[in-house]
Every structure is written in structure tokens, then in C-alpha cells.
Amino acid sequence: MDESGIKGLESSNSDAEIRESSSVARICVEGYNPLLRAYDVHLGLRELFASCGEVIHVYIPGYVPNLSPVLNRFALVYIRGKRAEKKALKLSGVHMGGHIGPLSLVVKAYPFQAKYLGPDFDRILAATRDADNEGQRSMGVTGFDTSLPKCVVETTLLKHFSKCGRVLEICAFYDDEESKTLVPKAIAYVCGQDTVEKALQLGGCDVAGFENIHVYLVVGPPKREAVTG
């Protein structure tokens, strides 16, 4: 193979590694105590899977702040990183302490393209998804050029994430009012879990200054809530 061929192969391998490291894996986790606070379950799962990659989102189907005294018995966890799913599956059977232990968790792969998880899981997902698609979600977004005007960033992000579903509002913030330099993170308020899942799979934007934009966090349950019922 000549030098140009070697360079082409190296470039191809590099591109593949970049795609793998930036892709998001979805897994299903069960075994935590559903009587615990959603905040504690969320925090415990984030801490557990932090070793697998960047934990972006922990979704507990049917959970509504202040209205869910008992949680569903499983959650979906979304992790960005190289071999994130493989690393997460190795944690199945781990005995946890801390926020949601001591107990043993079961971790299953649940790729975005999967149509079936299991009869009990699918029934719960089907029963809760309509309501979960009505609720507001707050997503942290980064990867844009902070020297751009605030209105340009907000307008471009709105257009970009509108491909995924209903976007309620985009908020960018000044780091320095005088220089008009932006904070490198913005907030996207969107409607529904389906919109969030599509946004997590969305690649960068083809607009200059937005090529690397991505969701780095979906805001979880509040630390304090007055659960009724």
C-alpha cells in the first residue's frame, strides 16, 4: 500500500473512532428500589455508569415531579462514549450501596433501533409514553462558536433541534456583557421524551460555527419535591 493509501486508511479509522466516541448508547436498568426518591435513583445511576462514558440522561418512564410516590421498576440510561454499551453491560449484577443500594442491578442493551425490550417493559413504555411526550424537558447544549451573536446561536439551535420535535425555547447566555462573548453552554427547552431521544441521535449542524453541537445533559428530577398521593 502506498503512502496515500496508508494516510487514507488512518483518516478513515480516525473518523470511525470519532463517530464511536460521540455516539450515544441506550441501556435499560432494573433492580433499584422504586420507593426511593427519583432524585436519588437518578443520581445513583449517574454515579454508577460514569465509568462507562458521559451519562447524558436517566429516563424513568412515567415519572412526574411531585406526582410519582412510586417509580417504575426500570429506567433507561443514555451514555456517550467509546464502547459505552459494552462497558455498561459489564456492570450488570453489581451490588450497589450509596443512593440506591444495597441491591443488585440488571443491565440490558436497548439500542435506539430496537423495537422490543420485553413484554413487561414494552407495556410500561406504551402506557407512559403519551404522557411523557407532553412534559417539558431541559437539555444542555454545547459545541457552538461562542463569538457568534446570541440571537444567531439561539435561532440556529432552534432550527436544528426542531428537526426532532417541538422546541419551546432556546436560551444562550453572555459570559461577558461588555465583549458579548457567550457561555459555551445553552439550554434547549423541548417537549417530550421522543424529542429528547431524537436530539441525542442528531449529528452536528452544517452551519459554520455549529458543526460540533450536541446535547451533553438532560436535566433530571428535582432534589426536593412534595410528592402527594
For residues 85 and 181, state if they share a domain: no
CA 63 – CA 194 distance, rounded (Å): 15
| Residue that terminates a domain, selected from 96, 116, 132 | 132
Task: Provide the pLDDT for residue 91.
Answer: 94
CATH number at residue 82: 3.30.70.330
CA 143 – CA 207 distance, rounded (Å): 12
Sheet-wide strand order for 167-171: 167-171, 185-191, 136-142, 214-218
For residues 108 and 46, state if they share a domain: yes
For residues 120 and 174, state if they share a domain: no
For residues 49 and 106, state if they share a domain: yes
Q: Which amino acid is at 119?
A: P
Task: Provide the pLDDT for residue 136.
Answer: 95
* DSSP symbol at 188: E
pLDDT tens digits for range 164-204: 999 999 999 999 878 889 999 999 999 999 999 999 999 88
Task: Provide the pLDDT for residue 156.
Answer: 98
Q: Are 184 and 150 in contact (CB under 8 A)?
A: no
| Residue that terminates a domain, selected from 115, 132, 149 | 132
For residues 125 and 176, state if they share a domain: no
Task: Provide the pLDDT for residue 19.
Answer: 55
For residues 126 and 139, state if they share a domain: no
For residues 171 and 124, state if they share a domain: no
Give the total number of structural domains in the chain: 2
Task: Provide the pLDDT for residue 22.
Answer: 74
3-state SS, residue 190 = strand
For residues 126 and 142, state if they share a domain: no
Read off the pTM: 0.88
Task: Provide the pLDDT for residue 16.
Answer: 47
pLDDT tens sequence for the chain (229 residues): 565 555 454 544 445 454 556 799 999 999 998 999 999 999 999 999 999 999 999 999 999 998 989 999 999 999 999 999 999 999 998 876 655 555 789 999 999 999 899 999 999 999 999 999 999 999 999 999 999 999 999 999 999 999 999 999 999 999 987 888 999 999 999 999 999 999 999 988 999 999 999 999 999 999 988 655 4
Cis, bond preceding 102 (omega within 30 deg of 0): yes
Supply the range of the domain harboring residue 142: 135-229
For residues 112 and 151, state if they share a domain: no
